Amino acid sequence: MSDANAGLRAFRVDGQVAVITGGAQGIGLACAELMHEAGAAVVLLDCDTAALDTARQRLPQAQAQVLDVSDAAAVEHVFADIARIHGRVDILVNNAGRSIRKPSHELPLEDWDAVVAVNLTGAFVCARAAASHMPERGGSIVNMASMMGLSGGGLYPNVSYHASKGGLVTMTRALAVEWAPRGIRVNAVAPTWTRTQFIDPLTRSAELMQRIRSATPLQRMAEPQEVASAVLFLASPAAAMVTGAVLPVDGGFLAQ
Ligand code: NAD
């Protein structure tokens, strides 16, 4: 007998172990809440202990743990712990990210290194650690890139962010190819400006908000839940044949 809901069920992740870095707030927390709703056992990792405390209250079913993704040794330990507690890792959302917005000539090399350490190296180390705990049937990694990883545009100079997210886009494709034989799919989403504390200075400026509207065909910024929907799709069995893809959630910005 055919199962009328089998197609829709492919969008769920029942029983899967989903780890979300930078999961304490913003887009990461929206991903965590949606993954939980879709049936996953969720683990939140974040370096901000106060934000993690608040996240614990919002999503008490999740395991929440402090981790700085730029500390490679700590990453190995934490993923080994998760595998010990949950038996494996099925899904990784590589979402932790930071930005230091300065013109190139005023950007100290330490600032460049700090951004790359989180957005690119941190994502690589987490991907490798997660992959080593994925079951034989494989798993799924979704990297949080940005439309700025595919464009040099934007509202202000932000070269370390552009470069690190561009690196993350290419890393997504390289790992997708390398790990396809192991059944590990690696994809990315590339969001537009999204309403979180990450872009607080922008949302407080009427002039910058107007520039966002005029730069975006859909004439608005994204909500964290709209990014999370794309992440869930890529992580879920509904995207079983999708790997190495970079999905813009950008209101049409990159289509121009
Ligand atoms: P956010 O500031 O609300 O959340 C980012 C989280 O990452 C924070 O909880 C922070 O503590 C955590 N984090 C930062 N450095 C970390 C580290 N070293 N180790 C562990 N956790 C760390 O911001 P957000 O908007 O939700 O951003 C999430 C991701 O989305 C980032 O990668 C960001 O680059 C990307 N993104 C955001 C936007 C936007 O406009 N908000 C647009 C495109 C892409």
Question: What pLDDT, in 10s, does the model give residues 202-251?
Answer: 899 999 999 999 999 999 999 999 999 999 999 999 999 999 999 999 99
Tell whether 115 is covered by a domain: yes
CA angle 55–220–50, rounded 5-degree value: 15
User: Which two tokens mark 103?
Assistant: 């013109």
Structural domain including 142 reads: 2-243
Spatial contact of 7 and 1, defined as CB atoms under 8 Å apart: no
Which atom of ligand 1 is least distant from the CA of 69?
A: 19
Could you say which DSSP state residue 131 is in?
H
- Burial code (b: 16+ CB inside 10 Å, e: under 16) for 110-146 equals eebeebbbbbbbbbbbbbebbbebbeeebbbbbbbbb
The CATH number of the domain holding residue 229 is 3.40.50.720
Tell whether 253 is covered by a domain: no
Tell whether 62 is covered by a domain: yes
Average pLDDT of the residues in 69-84: 98
Tell whether 159 is covered by a domain: yes
Tell whether 252 is covered by a domain: no
Spatial contact of 82 and 103, defined as CB atoms under 8 Å apart: no
More confident position, 201 or 17: 17
Q: How confident is the model at residue 2 (pLDDT cuts 50, 70, 90)?
A: low
Give the chain's domain count.
1
Tell whether 255 is covered by a domain: no
Protein residues whose CB sits closer than 6 Å to any atom of ligand 1: 21-22, 24-28, 46-48, 51, 67-70, 95-98, 118, 122, 144, 146, 191, 193-194, 196-199
Q: How confident is the model at residue 1 (pLDDT cuts 50, 70, 90)?
A: very low
Q: How confident is the model at residue 38 (pLDDT cuts 50, 70, 90)?
A: very high
Tell whether 248 is covered by a domain: no
Can you tell me which residue has the tokens 């930005």? 99
Q: Is 156 a catalytic residue?
A: no
Tell whether 224 is covered by a domain: yes
Average pLDDT of the residues in 8-30: 98
Residues 6+ apart with CB under 8 A from 80: 129, 133
Atom 5 of ligand 1, residue of closest alpha carbon:
22
